[in-house]
Amino acid sequence: MSWKASARHGVREAPGGFALVQELLNTRAAMSYAQDLLAATEDAQWWVTDTLTIWSHTSGLSAPTLLLSAADLRSLRRLRTAFEHVVLAGASPEPDSALPPADVQVSLVPDGTGWVRVVPTGRGVRWLASALWAEALSAQQAGMWPRLKLCNNAACRAAFFDTSRNNSGVWHDVSTCGNTANLRAFRERRRLLGQEHH
């Protein structure tokens, strides 16, 4: 099973249910090859239905059927922006105290082995927000959160799971976004050197 929004970018997917957060981030339009999946109700409905089926299969939890309205799309876009800010805040050396609270409810449910699971609650998009924040919390507790990154190419911003040994990845794809940036920097250095010689 492949998470659809992330598959458009060819990125390495975050493990388990944590991929739900990455999937939301990857609904954003990127360059010329990926439209915004939360711009139109039909595309968003297709995305959310497919994504929750995969999440349910991956997490072992049941997911409700969500029927999206135009107001739900606005809520989902705001939620996506909130997660972008949280991911970027985690990558920044300067703490940003201006992040708003998540304002969602979850249930804490012990499973048969004695582990407590954070289980989403609520209805509609509120349930989805609950699932996303629950996955973020679980990823942070497992030490995986810092590996979810947004591509350094501002025109791209694809969310990718960094599997480099020292967690130093900055491009979702070095051959596209990385080479473009490196070529731009090389040309700028050459231009500046050319000016110095005149």
Answering whether pTM is above 0.95, one says no
Q: For strands 116-120 and 148-150, give the pairing.
A: unpaired
Q: Supply φ then ψ for residue 174, to 5 degrees.
A: -60, -35
Q: pLDDT for 81-126, tens place per residue?
A: 999 999 988 777 676 666 777 889 999 999 889 889 899 999 999 9
Q: pLDDT for 150-195, tens place per residue?
A: 998 888 888 999 998 888 787 777 666 765 555 555 556 666 666 6
Helices (H), 10-69: 19-25, 41-59
Give all domains of the chain, ordered by start, each with its CATH number: 4-196 (1.10.3300.10)
